[in-house]
Amino acid sequence: MSINRRRAPKSEVSRKKKLDGHAGELEYAGLIGGEVLPGVGKGDVKDRQGFLHSLKSGKKWQLFLYNEERIRRSRSLGLLAPCLESFAWDKKEYFKHREKCIAFKETNQRERGKAMAQKLTNTEVKKAIGRNVYVLSKERLAFATSGVCEKLRDKKQLRRFLDEAIFNAGEVDFLVVRDTHLLGDKVFKVFPRDIVLDVFTSALAPSVSNAGRVAVDYNVPGQKVLLRYDNESNPVNVIEIEVRNDEKHYRLIRCNMMSKYALALLLNGLGVRRCDCVTLYGVGP
């Protein structure tokens, strides 16, 4: 039995995103008289003064996808290491136990009906299936994410974390967003590093995700670390941090930013200066 509910994009979708991203880099570099940088580093374009610009577009931006070695040697992302440690080294055992857990819940739902199956508690599941690495990993992760949140409530720690996640700890000087999901004008909007860090550090607060609602899965709260903005008592997730576990990518930390909400925060109250299709916010008169 093969069970995989991970919503990873198809290879052709990923390829199109990469091509679109490269085309955007070329267009932006032409507008500012800069050059596109090769490779997969944080900096995408270097301007004539030597400053590095990181370009983002689309509904959701992947800030990073790092393995344990990269997390441990980072300056400020190392606090995420316990999240990876929650999962077994043996990938085969993890997926074998995942199948066992989900198969039990699927059988229970088939025999008792969905309404009754949804009343099945996690305690009853654990008693029925015995020791299970998949279940243990989820429970350990819930404990680890709670610890991460406690550390990120320190605003100085949060700022350092955001700096490394977005700018690789000062390597990159500007965040450039091609607006496709807020105003939809496809204008390049450019934000200096300090502005981005000031806005996000002030506005965002850490939290953990609620338990999932997949009837045939083992649902536990705290599977993601969230950086949220409380928009008039209607909190929105601006950044989501999770452990990525699938057959090809196991024990990796993925950090995504939601374009619409991030851009709305950055645009709020900042001054404007335009040059062709490039709009600079917070850069002065």
**Cα-based angle 12, 189, 184 (whole degrees, multiple of 5):** 60
Range 204-227 average pLDDT = 95
Contact 196, 270 (CB under 8 A): no
| pLDDT computed for residue 2 by the predictor | 46
Range 232-256 average pLDDT = 92
Tell me the per-residue pLDDT of 51-110, one tens digit each, with 9 for 90 and over.
999 999 999 999 999 999 999 999 899 999 999 999 988 999 999 999 999 999 999 999
C-beta neighbour count of 172 within 10 angstroms: 20
In a domain, 2, yes or no: no
C-beta neighbour count of 241 within 10 angstroms: 24
Helix segments in 33-113, DSSP class H: 68-72, 81-85, 91-112
- Sorted by sequence, the CB contacts under 8 Å of residue 81 that are 6+ apart come out as 68, 71, 72
| pLDDT computed for residue 234 by the predictor | 83
In a domain, 6, yes or no: no
In whole numbers, what is the pLDDT of the chain averaged over residues?
Answer: 90
Taking the C-alpha atoms of residue 124 and residue 223, their distance in angstroms, rounded to an integer, is: 20
Q: State what percent of residues in the chain have pLDDT above 70.
A: 92
Q: What is the pTM of this model?
A: 0.89
- The closest alpha carbon to 172, from 152, 151, 196, belongs to 196
Helix or strand or coil: residue 241?
Answer: strand
Helix segments in 153-257, DSSP class H: 155-167, 193-203
In a domain, 69, yes or no: yes
- The secondary element (H helix, E strand) that includes residue 124 is helix 122-129
Enclosing domain of residue 263: 32-281
In a domain, 18, yes or no: no
Given a cut of 70, whether residue 228 has pLDDT beyond it is yes
Range 225-249 average pLDDT = 91
Contact 129, 104 (CB under 8 A): yes
In a domain, 179, yes or no: yes
| pLDDT computed for residue 42 by the predictor | 87
Range 212-224 average pLDDT = 93
Rounded-to-5 percentages of helix, strand, coil across the chain? 45, 25, 35
Given a cut of 60, whether residue 173 has pLDDT beyond it is yes
Tell me the per-residue pLDDT of 183-192, one tens digit each, with 9 for 90 and over.
888 999 999 9
Ranking 37-41, 62-66, 242-246 by mean pLDDT, the lowest is 37-41
- Band (pLDDT 50/70/90 cuts) for residue 118 is confident
Residue 60, CA distances (Å) to 34, 66, 179, 214, 237 in order: 25, 17, 12, 23, 11
Taking the C-alpha atoms of residue 80 and residue 72, their distance in angstroms, rounded to an integer, is: 8
| pLDDT computed for residue 210 by the predictor | 96
Taking the C-alpha atoms of residue 207 and residue 240, their distance in angstroms, rounded to an integer, is: 10
| pLDDT computed for residue 52 by the predictor | 97
More confident residue, 280 or 157: 157
Quote the number of domains for the chain. 1
